[in-house]
């Protein structure tokens, strides 16, 4: 039997691994406690990440960087501005240009100097961009810089980027930044190389269905670790066969690394992370924020109306009129979760269209709903996925348990609830 000290040691290592998986850049400046634990267990983490996921972990004196490979399209999460809006292509361009300028920057520099360097880099690349041009450009540039602050690449030494991007910026004093040059060089995990176009470069980084058995097992472990729910119906025939033969071993190895449990169902597999803070576990659903509460209420209402008659079912189409009605019942100004907004600093309910978009985006990111278009904004084309059934409420769960069937997997049995979480 393991001693309490051994259990605590294992728990520390697994918590550090979960932290790196959800936040691949951890610095002594931005997260001193997390970084201290990562550095204390660096040898174990480096070895396990390499063996189980074939990820490269670098732990330096003041930062740790986990460089991932594969699953570029399927697990990419867009960066967001402070307002919650996704980064625009222009914001990503400013982020890339700022990194290009910072790798050769002095340890401290004013924002005006960095803006001039970014403009020079844009001109060299044939881009008509200048963060000094007007307020909209300055704000987009500042949004990119704030992400670099969050990653620990730069630090506001004098003044603030918020003041720089504000209305009075022209008359404000200069904002000075400190630069972590080594981290600036490590932010881009896979520096661009010669390729005919961006799509070719991205395709070269993908590895979701390799032909070799060993590489295929690694790809499956990555998918399980990085994806909220892995549905068998979404896999290629070769990967479905691998999953059927190696799912228990893959779950055991990921449990060793991350300290997680797993639900294995007829429809697929999901890892269940320990209950920590949402920042630590990187969970997108369920959550206690207003968007998460509204999404949970929407799921309950949709499941009550659309519970499939046959099982197991991977996806159930949601009629547009039904989705429109149920969303209105949840996000309208007089809807049930109105109390969710009482905790916010402002005493108003957010724009209904924006709230609808965020709720649907959250459910899609969590693997609970799907849409063929990644930028869908309307009510057409949505489907409710099998994993959503676990949030259908107590009455639905009791009814589902009464109809439960048994599914075998490599000699072991696990309860399978019709349409329940994969």
- In the numeric block, the tokens 């509204």 are attached to 294
Judgement on whether residues 270 and 293 belong to the same structural domain of the protein: no
CATH code where residue 152 lies? 1.10.10
Give dist(CA 135, CA 138) in Å, integer: 5
Split into its structural domains, the chain has a count of 4
Strand ranges (E), 105-235 = 108-110, 154-158, 176-179, 230-231
Q: Does one domain contain both 107 and 152?
A: yes
pLDDT at 18: 93
Q: What residue numbers bound the domain in which 274 lies?
A: 205-278
Are the CB atoms for 177 and 108 separated by under 8 Å? yes
In a domain, 8, yes or no: yes
d(CA 23, CA 46): 15
Q: Please check whether residues 62 and 115 belong to one and the same domain.
A: no
User: Count of H helices and E strands in the chain?
Assistant: 17, 14
> Do 237 and 146 share a domain, yes or no?
no
Which of 186, 221, 255 is the last residue in one of the domains? 186
Q: Which residues contact 305 (CB under 8 A, 6 or more apart)?
A: 322, 326
Instruction: Indicate whether 177 and 232 sit together in one domain.
Output: no
Does residue 289 share a domain with residue 268?
no
pTM higher than the cut 0.85: no
Q: How far apart are CA 54 and CA 75, in angstroms?
A: 16
Which segments within 257-353 are labelled E, that is strand?
Answer: 261-264, 268-272, 315-317
Q: Are residues 107 and 148 in the same domain?
A: yes
- DSSP classification of residue 175: P
Q: What is the DSSP string of 111-123?
A: HHHHHHHHHHHHH
Q: Are residues 223 and 300 in the same domain?
A: no
Answer whether residue 196 is part of any domain.
Answer: no
Has residue 412 been placed in a domain? no
Please report whether residue 197 resides in a domain. no
Please check whether residues 240 and 294 belong to one and the same domain: no
Task: Give domain status of residue 19, yes or no.
Answer: yes
Inter-residue contact 288 to 27 (CB < 8 Å): no
Q: Say whether both 64 and 148 belong to one domain.
A: no
> End of a domain among 258, 278, 298?
278
In order along its 422 residues, the chain shows pLDDT tens digits of 566 668 889 999 999 999 999 889 999 988 999 999 999 999 999 999 999 999 999 999 999 999 988 775 666 677 888 777 788 999 999 999 999 999 989 999 999 999 999 999 999 989 999 998 888 899 999 999 999 999 999 999 988 888 777 654 554 578 899 999 999 998 887 777 666 777 766 666 666 677 778 888 888 999 999 888 899 988 889 889 999 999 999 999 999 999 999 999 888 999 888 865 444 444 467 777 788 888 899 999 998 888 765 555 788 999 999 999 999 888 775 655 444 544 444 445 567 788 888 899 889 888 899 988 877 778 999 999 988 888 876 444 444 443 433 333 333 333 333 333 33
Buried b (16+ CB within 10 A) or exposed e, 79-112: eebeeeeebeebbebbbbbbbbbbeebeeebbbe
Task: Examine residue 198 and state whether it is found in any structural domain, yes or no.
Answer: no
Query: Among residues 142, 158, 186, which one ends one of the domains?
Result: 186
Residue of 144, 182, 181 whose CA lies nearest to 161: 144
Residue 302 sits in the same domain as residue 396: yes
């Amino acid at each position: 039997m393991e001693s309490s000290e051994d259990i605590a040691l294992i728990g520390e290592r697994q918590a550090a691994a979960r932290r790196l998986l959800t936040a691949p850049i951890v610095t002594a400046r931005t997260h001193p406690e997390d970084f201290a634990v990562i550095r204390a267990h660096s040898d174990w983490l480096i070895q396990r990440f390499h063996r189980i996921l074939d990820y490269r972990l670098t732990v330096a004196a003041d930062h740790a960087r986990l460089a991932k490979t594969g699953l570029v399209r399927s697990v990419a999460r867009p960066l967001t501005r402070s307002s919650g809006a996704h980064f625009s292509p222009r914001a990503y361009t400013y982020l890339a240009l700022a990194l290009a300028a910072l790798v050769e920057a002095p340890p401290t520099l004013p924002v005006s100097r960095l803006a001039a360097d970014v403009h020079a880099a844009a001109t060299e690349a044939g881009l008509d961009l200048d963060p000094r041009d007007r307020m909209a450009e300055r704000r987009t540039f500042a949004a990119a810089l704030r992400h670099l602050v969050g990653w620990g690449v730069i630090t506001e030494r004098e003044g603030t980027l918020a003041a720089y991007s504000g209305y009075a910026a022209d008359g404000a004093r200069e904002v000075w930044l400190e630069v972590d040059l080594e981290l600036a060089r490590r932010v881009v995990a896979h520096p661009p190389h010669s390729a005919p176009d961006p799509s070719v470069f991205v395709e070269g980084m993908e590895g979701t269905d390799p032909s070799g058995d060993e590489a295929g097992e690694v790809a499956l472990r990555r998918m399980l670790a990085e994806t909220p729910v892995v549905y068998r119906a979404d896999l290629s025939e070769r990967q479905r066969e691998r999953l059927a033969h190696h799912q228990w071993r893959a779950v055991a190895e990921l449990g060793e690394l991350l300290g997680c449990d797993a639900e294995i169902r007829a429809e697929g597999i999901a890892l269940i992370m320990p209950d920590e803070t949402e920042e630590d576990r990187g969970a997108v659903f369920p959550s206690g924020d207003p968007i998460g509460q509204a999404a949970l209420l929407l799921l309950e209402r949709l499941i009550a109306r659309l519970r499939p008659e046959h099982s197991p079912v991977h996806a159930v189409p949601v009629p547009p009129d039904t989705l429109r009605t149920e969303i209105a019942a949840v996000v309208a100004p007089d809807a049930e979760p109105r109390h969710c907004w009482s905790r916010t600093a402002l005493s108003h309910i957010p724009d209904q269209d924006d709230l609808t978009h965020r709720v649907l985006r959250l459910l899609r990111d969590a693997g609970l709903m799907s849409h063929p278009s990644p930028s869908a904004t309307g009510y057409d084309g949505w489907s409710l996925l099998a994993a959503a059934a676990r949030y259908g409420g107590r009455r639905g769960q009791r009814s589902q348990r009464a109809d439960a069937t048994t599914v075998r997997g490599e000699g072991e049995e696990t309860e399978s609830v019709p349409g329940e979480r994969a």
